[in-house]
Structures are given as C-alpha cells and as structure tokens.
Structure 1
Amino acid sequence: MKQLDLLYQGKAKSVYRSDEQGTLIMRFRDDITAFDGEKKDVLGGKGGYNTEVSAFFFRYLEERGIKTHFLGMIDPITMAVRDLTMIPLEVIVRNVAAGSIVRRYPFTEGAPLDPPVIVIDYKDDSRHDPMLNDDLILALRLTTREELDQIKANALAINELLKDHLDARGIILVDFKMEFGRRDGTIHLGDEISMDSMRLWDKETRQSMDKDVYRFNKGDVMTEYAKVAKRIIS
C-alpha cells in the first residue's frame, strides 16, 4: 500500500490517503497534549504504545461483533483503516465520576455511575467541544434519530466489553471517548482507543494509568503507558 497526500493532522495522529480506494493510512505520533493544547510535548515511544493498544482493542471488538474502521497494521505506529465519513461527535461513556463531570456537577470524585452515563460533545476546538443533548444533535442534523440510537447502543456495548477485559487485568475503566463514522450506511467505530482516550485507574491503588499522569504531573507518563499496555495486551 502506498501513502499519498496528508488528509488530516490531529493533536497526536496523522491520516493520509492511500492508493487503495476506500482505505486510509493512520499514523500515531509521539506528540502529547493537554488542556486544549496549552501543554504539549513529544515523548519517544508514545505513538507505539497507543497504536498497539488501539489495534488490540479494535481486533477485540471486531471479534465480538462491533464494526470498526481497523483493517490491519502496516508498521508499529501505522495502521490501515476504512475511510469513514466521520460524525463530529465525541461520545464519552462514564462509569465513575472523575474529571470534568465532577467540576461541572455535584458528583463526588470516584463515585460509581450505575448505569453508566453517556455524554456527547460537539467536536469543534474553536467552540471548546460544547456538550450536546439529543435535540441539539438532531437540530444540527449531525445524525438521524436511528443513527443516534445506534451510536448510543454501540457505545454501551463497547463499554461493557472493555470493562470486562480491563477488570480482569486489575484496571478500572473510569471513562473513555469514542468517535464514530458512516460507511455504506452503517455506523463504525473510528479514531482510537488508547491511554490518550481512556481514563484508567489501578483497581488496588486507584492511581491513574492514562494521560492524567501527564496532564496533572502525577509521575512518568511513559512508564505508566508501558505498564498499562502490557497489562491490556497480556
């Protein structure tokens, strides 16, 4: 497969066209950012850990009936993915109260959320990703009602699958972000599932094992990424 022109460059990934119709090339970079890009660094090896974990979870979910954009690995930091028409929504499933939900609402840090809470944000950096409700999503014509119902059902199914896998490895899935896109009239999971997009706590110590380590100076983030990647894939 031949890499063609750059299609999109995000905070930590670059997406390129390929010479195969309907297939894109997604490369994970070593960039790490926090607070809407106010804090940023380049950490050697980070892209590799996120690629490895994302590829593992995409395969894991595909085997259990979840459609994703993942096609296969090209090299340790690059994967081939289906070309989706991305829906500009960030779908967050929260199992434990932490982060912005505690700052904005009267939840106690660490309180379990049962059933899980789905929060959907409009993916727009210039507007700081404002939260949406169903009426706003439909009024903006971002999805149909049927698509929105499917996205929510997929999000909850993915949450249960990831929670089971992580719990067996001593990790609490506090919350995580997903993005979805359309392909041939069907909703697919896109983007990534990695330590950059999940909030993970060690089940025994309740210590962070994700980008919060970098965000809040809790230790060496690369050490944590290496440890959690090994536990996830074991």
Structure 2
Amino acid sequence: MGSVKDLVVLKEPAATETGTGRFIFSDRYSIFDWGEMPDHIMEKGKAICLVSAYFFERLGELGIKTHYLGVVEDGVVKRLSDLQKPSDTMEVKLLRVIKPKIHGNFYDYSAYQRERGNFLIPLEIIYRNSLPEGSSVFKRLKEGSLQLADLGLQQAPKPGQVLQKPILDVSTKLEATDRYINWQEARAISGLDESEIEEIKRVTLTVNDLITEEAKRLGLLNEDGKVELGFDGNRALILVDALGTLDECRFTFEGLPVSKEIARIFYRRTEWCREVEEAKKKDKIFWKALVKTSPVQLPDRLANAIAMVYKAYANEITKRRWFNTPSLKEVLEDIKELTTV
C-alpha cells in the first residue's frame, strides 16, 4: 500500500521479465512527503485512474512504451473506450523496485551499477513550462542550492513567469524526502549512460507536449509535472506510475491552481506545515519523527470542491461525462472564492 494507491501483485517481476499487477487508486492524497493526509477526496481514485489511462493510451499511439495494460472493470482488462462506468483499477506491467541502502545519513545506490534491466529508475523527472508561485525553484534559488545558470536564465525569475522553453529538473524517487539533484548525479546513482539520459529527456518532453496540448483544450496552463520511468527486461525505457493527473501535474486556470496545490495553500497557513519545514532542515531522512503536530482536516466545503475539480477534470480531459459535476470552470470559480477568504 502506498500513500495514495494500493498495489495487487498478480505476478512478481523477475530479473529479466516484467511482472503483472493492478493499481487501485484510492481517495487518499499526500502533500509535502507526509504520506496519507487526514481527509479523503471523494472519487479521486476513479478520476485519477481514468485520466492516467487516457494519457497512457494517447502516448502508446505516439509510439512511447509504457507499463499500461488497461483499466479493469468487473475483473476484465479493457481499453478506456470500452468501460461502462468509472473504474479505480488499472492493470500494469510490474518492474522491480531496488531501494538504495541507508548507511547513517547516506544512501547507497551501488546496486544500480550491477543491474541491467527490469527495474524502476530511482528518479523523478520534472518538466517546468513556467514558474508559478509556490514552485520549489524560488526556495532553491534563495537557499543557493540552485543557480540561475542551471535554469538557463540571465535574471532572477518572478512568480508566474512563463519560460521560453521547458526546463527539465530531476530528483530522487526512493529516499525519505525527494531530493533535487543535477543530471550528473542522476546519471551516476542510477547507472545510466549519456544516451539513456538523453532518451529520458526526449520522452519527458514528448509527455509534456501532449499534456500541455490537452490542458490547453480545457483552458488550463500546464505549469509543471513529473514523470517516472523504468527499464524492461531488454533495458528499453518505459513510462510507469501515473500521468497527466492533478497529482502528477500543476495546472492553473487564470492564475488559480488546479491541482493538489489547492490543499497546499490551505496547509501552508498551519502550524503543522511550519513544523514539517523545520524538521526537514534538521534531518533529511528521519524528519517525520520530529514533527509533533498532526495535520488538521480540510474544511468540508473545500474538500468537496477539490473532489469536484478532480472529477470535472477527468470528464473534460477524456471527453466523456463519467461524473455528475458542473463544468471545470464553474468548479474553479467556487475554489477561487474559498481560497481567497
């Protein structure tokens, strides 16, 4: 079980052969690396499953390899177009997850130097088309862990700045807290060669282009998002996890967040969030034990409005009315009222 979805293993992956499993997307959600938050977002799991299936199928048509096998309805694996009703279950190829060993405050990735295929690459690739308020880029620039040259910028960016071309960022995937790293370290810890790094970048930009195009159709700006990848048994690159959802992407509508950022805005005002930020400064690995406050529940109206965003987005991205909701624009007008109080 993960913080936002569960996994049922039908066939274990081996060193040279992918396994088979089913993701059951839950109504749970996570922010700030905390894990499961106290609220559930009703029918979020079904909405996430449908949207991710849509993008996997579109990318397959573009020749991009993925781990997607179909969506499950009444025990049968189907294409999205064959579903009779929303489903929260997706069947996928399974790769091995090789977790780095922990030695004190150090992560040991040496196992990746020996592995040839059929494993999750321990990285998250982030594409950035703009730098909305709340982007980690501003915090990293202030701390000095990121330089303007890394972004290809001459001057310090401003919140809301649209970039002339996408920036690709990279972070760790299997550590207690995602850690931004440079491409040289990403290549080293994952056992990748230069051509594989370039292929990862190419696939990520293809994903970004597709999601940007589809979001634009809804009147949304695709600010940034993340991609996860792995190698199959032949060391061919494949996309894994989920794609194009409100959990993986940050969209805005006329400057208004259309993603988990809505919940983040609420929680940034709480004592719990302040404790999380301080704890991460003190201990990069075991920070959670230092947090004494628990996150409060979202106000009911805000939690319900966030659920409507997920469902309206799923309806409009897939061009099919799975859920009985107002239009995405109408839901976002309600969100705007709630988040400006």
Q: Partner residue of 1:201?
A: 252
Counterpart CA distance in 1 for 2:92 and 2:56 is 11
**Alignment root-mean-square deviation, CA:** 1.9
Report 1:42-121 matches (<5 A).
Answer: 42-75=40-73, 76-84=87-95, 85-98=119-132, 99-105=135-141, 106-121=156-171
Structure 2 residue runs of 5 or longer lacking an equivalent are 13-17, 74-86, 96-118, 142-155, 268-301, 320-341
Report 1:1-234 matches (<5 A).
Answer: 9-19=1-11, 22-37=19-34, 40=37, 41-75=39-73, 76-84=87-95, 85-98=119-132, 99-105=135-141, 106-126=156-176, 128-183=177-232, 184-193=234-243, 194-202=245-253, 205-217=254-266, 219=302, 220-234=305-319
Bigger CA radius of gyration: 2
Query: How far apart are 1:29 and its partner, in Å?
Result: 1.1
Per the alignment, in what secondary structure is the counterpart of residue 147 of structure 1?
helix
**2:24 is matched by which residue type in structure 1?**
R
Please report the TM-score for the alignment, with normalisation by the length of structure 2. Answer: 0.62
Moved more, 29-38 or 81-90: 29-38
Per the alignment, in what secondary structure is the counterpart of residue 31 of structure 1?
coil
Contact 1:101 1:107 in 2 (8 A): no
Change (3 A) 1:34 1:188: same
Aligned pair count?
223
User: Higher helix proportion, which one?
Assistant: 2
Query: How far apart are 1:54 and its partner, in Å?
Result: 0.5
Q: Partner residue of 2:298?
A: none
Query: How far apart are 1:227 and its partner, in Å?
Result: 2.0
Query: How far apart are 1:206 and its partner, in Å?
Result: 2.1
Query: How far apart are 1:141 and its partner, in Å?
Result: 3.7
Please report the TM-score for the alignment, with normalisation by the length of structure 1. Answer: 0.88
User: Higher strand proportion, which one?
Assistant: 1
Counterpart CA distance in 1 for 2:206 and 2:70 is 23
Query: How far apart are 1:19 and its partner, in Å?
Result: 4.6
Per the alignment, in what secondary structure is the counterpart of residue 10 of structure 1?
coil
